[in-house]
């Protein structure tokens, strides 16, 4: 589990593709690899990946990305020397500054509008209609692994209003029009809506 509070940005140093399989090697500050072990979970652009190899002294870590993950996320689109968002998994006693995030990406969104100045950043993201019932104004959503508050909601997507701190710590400040961003819906919202829909459907059947 994760909090959606991105800890740092990591640099993609190597990519090895073998058909529908990709091995990623990332360079990251040594401090973020302390007490790490093989098999540990780390969120990369919001995607929960398993550590397959690492060297804390040299500051690198490897992950294997399978076909299902490549199909559902933007990890198949990243290139060497690109930065990615990096978050270690939640530990007992950690502060939850965002919201509970699983690292299981449901879909990607397309950045269709971008307005930036010195203090503000406005993004409009387009999302497939099937996911829109679970995206509510002022609700939680994870975008590229970042726990964010949804702004205005539209029939085909939603808006984000980002502060300079978010842009500085994460890769969201580097995004450009038509980029694909990983989306994880708030699980609590999704569960409540699906439960209500199921109960209402059963009641209508009984009438």
Q: Where are the domains of the chain?
A: 8-88, 107-193
Examine the pLDDT at 207 and tell me if it is beyond 70.
no
- For residues 106 and 74, give the distance between their C-alpha atoms in angstroms, rounded to a whole number: 11
Mean pLDDT of the chain: 94
For the segment 83-105, the average pLDDT, to the nearest whole number, is: 86
What phi and psi values does residue 151 have, to the nearest 5 degrees?
Answer: -90, -130
CATH of region 107-193: 2.40.30.20
Residues 103, 113: Cα–Cα separation, whole Å = 26
Express each pLDDT in 111-166 by its tens digit: 999 999 988 999 999 999 999 999 999 999 999 999 999 999 999 999 999 999 99
Predicted local confidence at residue 135, as pLDDT:
97
What pTM value is reported for the model? Answer: 0.92
Give the separation between CA 126 and CA 144, rounded to whole angstroms: 14
Residue 97 scores a pLDDT above 90: no
Question: How far is it, in rounded angstroms, from Cα 51 to Cα 49?
Answer: 7
- 8-88 CATH pick, 3.40.50.150, 3.30.70.100, 2.40.30.20, 3.40.1190.20: 2.40.30.20
Supply the pLDDT for residue 93: 65
8-88 and 107-193: identical CATH topology: yes
Q: Where are the alpha helices (DSSP H) in the chain?
A: 67-72, 164-169, 187-206
- Residue-wise pLDDT for 181-199, tens only, equals 999 999 888 899 989 988 8
């Amino acid at each position: 589990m994760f909090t959606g509070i991105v800890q740092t940005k990591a640099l993609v140093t190597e990519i090895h593709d073998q058909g529908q399989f990709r091995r990623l090697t990332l360079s990251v500050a040594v401090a973020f690899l302390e007490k790490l072990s093989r098999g540990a979970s780390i969120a990369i652009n919001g995607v929960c990946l398993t550590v397959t190899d690492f060297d804390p002294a040299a500051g690198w870590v490897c992950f294997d990305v399978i076909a299902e993950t490549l199909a559902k996320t933007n990890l198949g689109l990243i290139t060497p020397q690109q930065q990615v968002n990096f978050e270690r998994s939640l530990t007992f006693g950690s502060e939850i500054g965002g919201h509970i995030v699983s690292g299981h990406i449901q879909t990607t969104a397309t950045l269709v509008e971008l307005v930036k100045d010195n203090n503000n950043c406005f993004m409009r993201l387009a999302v497939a209609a099937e996911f829109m019932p679970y995206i509510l104004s002022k609700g939680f959503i994870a975008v590229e692994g970042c726990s964010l508050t949804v702004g205005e909601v539209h029939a085909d997507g939603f808006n984000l209003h980002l502060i300079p701190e978010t842009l500085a710590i994460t890769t969201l400040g580097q995004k450009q029009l038509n980029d694909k961003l990983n989306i994880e819906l708030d699980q609590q919202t999704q569960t409540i809506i699906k439960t209500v829909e199921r109960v209402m459907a059963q009641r209508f059947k009984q009438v």
